[in-house]
A = this chain, B = another copy of it.
Amino acid sequence: MASTLHDVARLAGVSIKTVSNVINDYPHIRPATKARVEQAIADLGYTPNLTARSLRSGRTGAIALAVPELALSYFAELAAAVIEAADEAGVVVLVEQTGGDRDRELELLRSPRLQMTDGLIFSALGMGQDDAEHLERPYPLVLLGERIFDAPVDHVTMRNVEAARAATEYLLASGRRRIAVVGAHPGEVIGSAGLRLRGYREALEAAGVPYDDSIISETTTWHRSNGARGMRDLLDRGVTFDAVFGLNDTLALGAMRVLQEAGIRVPEDVAVMGFDGLDEAQYSIPSLTTVDPGQRWIARTAVATLLERIRRTDAAGEPRLLLADFHIAERESAPSEAMIGA
């Protein structure tokens, strides 16, 4: 297990470079020599030392993935897809959690730990547009998320505005007119919340339905408990609505639970729409209608883009913005045709 090229070379009676050549499929080796070396490798159970290889080559064969929290289903599914795609390319993934905290995100970006990897897929949540400059590092980086745009890095993300608009149009088409929102971030312009709320407003405007502040509920983070809290908040206000758009699935599921507790029927009294296309949204009661923003495509594309950047160190090539296609997964919580309350 602790055997090296030297040990193999000694056993096979050749120089270490010849052993190295055998391992790396260098063409000009006599079959007899090659066989002898391979026998020695097998006898000793030799495996190349990857650390030494990394030092020589400057490549580690690993990439880093930074997400806010793995315990959030969205990021767990993202990480699963990234690891799978990386694995197909023979690359391993080092996962970091930032907690969605701006300071920890910035710290991570300049952490020496990143040296252990050839590049980073970075899902920012705490940083904002003003932090774009911090992304400008001499290190292959692919940005995910919607906190920062126009930074000079490759960016793979979803069509938030269009997807949210489509989701809202879907609810409008099914006859809903008072569509509450759970998970808004006050004053946010970009960021998932800001963009999705914009799509929502665009759809309302196009349909001639007035925008009403009183049915918009704000939350800080997008944990499940906040979806529940946001819905309780709306109910406490005493406002009326016939649909809820959860700005992500987790919020929508939390909100749906509170609706049910309050004796409000989903979808008869209130339709519920989510956003993310999570696996678990299929199995809630009722199952959740949601927008699938193309997460698997995002993961695969992020990995491919990063690996390409790593390969071609030769200067840049323009930073690219890559956008996933979305579609609405129609399920029970918001059927496409209006239902008449029983």
Chain A residues with a Cβ under 8 A of chain B = 1, 47-52, 54-55, 60-62, 69-71, 73, 76-77, 79-80, 83-84, 87, 92-97, 112-113, 115-116, 138-139, 224-225, 227-228, 253-254, 256-257, 260-261, 279-280, 282-285, 287
Contact = CB atoms under 8 A, between A and B. Distances in A.
Contacts of A97: 80, 83-84, 87
A93 B94 contact: yes
B228 A257 contact: no
A280 B283 contact: no
Given A283-B253, A284-B284, A92 B73 contact: no
B60 A71 contact: no
Determine how many copies of this chain the complex contains: 2
Dominant secondary structure of chain A at its interface with chain B: helix
20 contacts: A51-B54, A51-B116, A55-B55, A61-B113, A62-B94, A70-B80, A71-B279, A73-B280, A76-B76, A80-B97, A87-B97, A93-B94, A95-B95, A224-B283, A225-B283, A253-B283, A256-B285, A257-B287, A280-B280, A285-B285
Contacts of A77: 70-71
B280 A260 contact: no
Q: Which of A80, A96, A254 has the most CB of B within 10 A?
A: A80
Among A280, A282, A283, which residue has the most Cβ atoms of chain B within 10 A? Answer: A283
Contacts of A116: 50-51, 60-62, 92
A172 B92 CA distance: 47
B83 A138 contact: no
A210 to B, nearest CB: 32
Of A224, A227, A260, the most chain B CB neighbours within 10 A belong to A224
A83 B62 contact: no
A83 B108 CA distance: 14
A60 B279 CA distance: 35
Nearest to A90: B113
Given A73-B73, A87-B96, A87-B97, 5 more contacts: A48-B112, A51-B115, A76-B76, A83-B95, A254-B283
A51 B47 contact: no
A69 B80 contact: yes
A252 to B, nearest CB: 11
A92 B92 contact: no
Contacts of A76: 70-71, 73, 76, 79
Contacts of A87: 96-97
A49 B56 CA distance: 12
Nearest to A110: B47
Contact of A51 (B60, B80, B83): B60
A313 to B, nearest CB: 12
Contacts of A254: 283
Contacts of A55: 49, 51-52, 55
Contacts of A69: 80
A95 to B, nearest CB: 5
Nearest to A65: B95
Contact of A284 (B95, B257, B282): B257
A49 to B, nearest CB: 7
